[in-house]
Amino acid sequence: MTVQLVEMKNPCQSCIIVSDLMISLFEKIKPEYPDVDFIITIIEKPEEIRKIQGLEVEIFPAVLINDEQITCGNILHRRQLKSYIDIRR
Amino acid sequence: MNNKQLVLDAIMNKQTERAPWVPFVGCHAASLLENVTAEMFFKDSDLIVEGVKKAVDLYRPDGIPVLFDLQLEAEALGCKLRYAKDNPPSVVTHPLEDGVKLEQLKIPTVNDGRFKLVMESAKRLCEELGNDIAMYGLITGPYTLALHLMGTEIFYEMIDDPDHVMEVLDFCKDVCIACADMYIDAGCDIIAVVDPMTSQISPDSFEEFVLPYAVEIFDHIRTRNRLSSLFVCGDAKKNIEVMSRCKCDNISIDENIPLEYVIDICKKRGVSVGGNIKLTVTMLFGSVQDNINDALNCMSIGGTKGYILSPGCDMPYATPVENVLAIAAVAHGEMPESIVSESALDGIVVELPDYKAEKKVIIDVITLDSASCAPCQYMMEAVKAACEGLSDKVAYVEHKIKDKESVVFMMKLGVSNIPTIVIDGQIKYISLVPSVKELRETILKAVELKK
């Protein structure tokens, strides 16, 4: 299983804060999910979103689980992200 | 009217001769200096001053922030930051989530974190630039700061332990007031409370967890005789109404919220508006023409009473200079140099009509492109409507400056703003779209002169 965060290379500070919170969250729950790959993908230009399977909307940062977009532009709470992972495992 | 007064008047909802231009030059200022990374910029008072002054020289703003760093307060409160070459720093630890107690946190002073160097920059910039342009002091809003301190736990604690969240927010409010005072003491004219993370919560949550603290902050700024703005990023459309009750003088939004919607809501409470230029699609990745188009659209919707032309948030490090120059030119009512540069137009020959010899009155409408630029579209529609039934006496032509021939044509006519209506070689309406009635009367006068 992969949990992927997709963010822009040069985001505004609002997006940076959302991304940082998601990255912190990934780091926190990683030990509980040794079988899950947590990936961070940085895209330089909006055209590159075509290369990311499952990405649907041009709002960042986005979180995908197994190529299925879970959210974009929003912060997930630990309990939410864990539930999303657990029901798909 | 000087540039600074233009910003102050717009914030106070007064009529201005044009919409003031305030580029939110954050770490982009570092990119204007040779071999300076964002990290170097954020840690060096001299570089902040040099970068902002360079941005002022290039972009001719009416107002500018001293710094756009939403991690400044968090760092002084113990959050660890990760600095980057071409981005603002990131918060990597959240003290209250990691076991630190709220009682252990102290309101930062000028001696904490990077405050000393930032306030030195603010003081120097206000002294050197503050007579001519409005200086903004940007502080991290209470909710965003609470999120830095608590991490994502804040969302569930708002449900499970709202009293604790309110204690944290009350502390963050005191931090905001202390930081606002530092910027005011340094000489800033406007204090902007930047609270982008409020777009993550509902209007009810905003009302409960943000409004009371925001009101106190804005009341405090008012007691210090300074103007204020509340910045939000992201899709905060749902919160605009409650934001307009925060007692701020101005609300600044990004491209996620329709500008006309925000103006409509804010006007009722006497709050002015700013922002809305698309940061990523237009400023970072768009062409010069995209930037002209976006600025014109914003100015068309925003008007000249209570609107400040600015990007939706802080400009990314790599924003192309020519894009910002194009917006600056449009803001000052000029054509961007990259469009009218002689080298770009070399070899293009265009002859103007012999207007006197023409049987019909000729109306030349200079536009960016009426298919994509709203003010250009309104102007073309007005011309079409005003010319109805006059096809035997009047001919109109749209000259889209997307085509180089049209740029040469425009220059030969002496036109420097778009959209513009020229009747028989005479510039009649610049940027302002006349009523159909008024325009028809002007056209009929020109028809009479032909006889």
Is the Cβ of B235 closer than 8 Å to some Cβ of chain A?
A: yes
Distance from CA of B238 to the nearest CA of A (A): 15
**A89 Cα to chain B: minimum distance (Å):** 23
Find all residues with CB under 8 Å of B354, minimum gap 6, and list them. none
The side-by-side arrangement of strands in the sheet containing B134-140 is B63-65, B134-140, B190-194, B227-231, B250-253, B272-275, B307-308
**Domains identified in chain B, total number:** 2
Q: What residue ranges do the domains of chain A occupy?
A: 2-86
Residue B234 contacts A, CB cutoff 8 Å: yes
Q: Are residues B371 and B323 in the same domain?
A: no
User: CATH fold of A2-86, please?
Assistant: Glutaredoxin (3.40.30)
Residues B154 and B277 in one domain: yes
Q: Which residue of B has its CA nearest to A16?
A: B90
Q: Could you tell me if B115 and B71 are in contact, meaning their C-beta atoms sit under 8 angstroms apart?
A: no
Answer yes or no: do B213 and B78 share one domain: yes
Label the pairing between strands A2-8 and A62-65: antiparallel
B174 lies in the same domain as B276? yes
Q: Name the minimum distance, in Å, from the CA of A73 to any CA of chain B.
A: 8
Q: B200 vs chain A: nearest CA distance in angstroms?
A: 6
Q: Does B83 touch chain A (CB under 8 A)?
A: no
In a domain, B87, yes or no: yes
- Across the interface, of B88, B254, B280, the residue whose CB is closest to A16 is B88
Same domain, B393 and B297: no
CA-atom Rg of chain B in angstroms: 25
A→B contacts (Cβ < 8 Å), by residue, are: 8-21, 23-25, 45-46, 73-79
Residues with Cβ within 8 Å of B109's Cβ and at least 6 positions away in sequence, in order, are: B115, B178
* Any domain includes B401: yes
Instruction: Annotate B25-69 with DSSP letters as a single string.
Output: -STHHHHTSTT--HHHHHT-HHHHHHHHHHHHHHH--SEEES---
Asked if residue B367 and residue B252 are part of one domain, the reply reads no
Instruction: Give the type of residue at A46.
Output: P
Whether B141 and B20 share a structural domain: yes
CATH number at residue B270: 3.20.20.210
The CATH number of whichever domain residue B395 belongs to comes to: 3.40.30.10
Chain B residues with CB-CB distance to A10 below 8 A: 86-87, 284, 316-318
Residues of A in contact with B68 (CB under 8 A): 13
Same domain, B394 and B261: no
pLDDT in tens, chain B (451 residues): 689 999 999 999 999 999 999 999 999 999 999 999 999 999 999 999 999 999 999 999 999 999 999 999 999 999 999 999 999 999 999 999 999 999 999 999 999 999 999 999 999 999 999 999 999 999 999 999 999 999 988 988 998 999 999 999 999 999 999 999 999 999 999 999 999 999 989 999 999 999 999 999 999 999 999 999 999 988 889 999 999 999 999 999 998 899 999 999 999 999 999 999 998 889 998 888 889 889 988 998 898 999 999 998 899 999 999 999 999 999 998 777 667 666 667 788 888 999 999 999 999 999 887 876 777 888 899 999 999 999 999 999 999 887 888 888 988 898 877 789 999 999 999 877 889 999 999 999 999 998 8
Give B153: exposed, middle or buried? Use CB within 10 Å, 0-12, 13-18, 19+: buried
Query: Is B385 part of a structural domain of the chain?
Result: yes
Same domain, B196 and B251: yes
> CA–CA separation, B151 vs B155, rounded Å?
9
Residues paired with residue A4 on neighbouring β-strands, in sequence order: A39, A64
Tell me, yes or no, whether B408 and B287 share the same domain.
no
User: ipTM beyond 0.90?
Assistant: no
Whether residues B319 and B395 fall in one domain? no
Instruction: Find all residues with CB under 8 Å of B251, minimum gap 6, and list them.
Output: B229, B230, B231, B232, B240, B243, B244, B262, B266, B271, B272, B273, B274
Give the tokens for residue B127. Answer: 């002294």
Across the interface, of A17, A23, A74, the residue whose CB is closest to B196 is A17
The residue segments making up the domain with residue B423 are 361-450
- Name B75's Cβ contacts closer than 8 Å, sequence gap at least 6: B81, B89, B113, B114
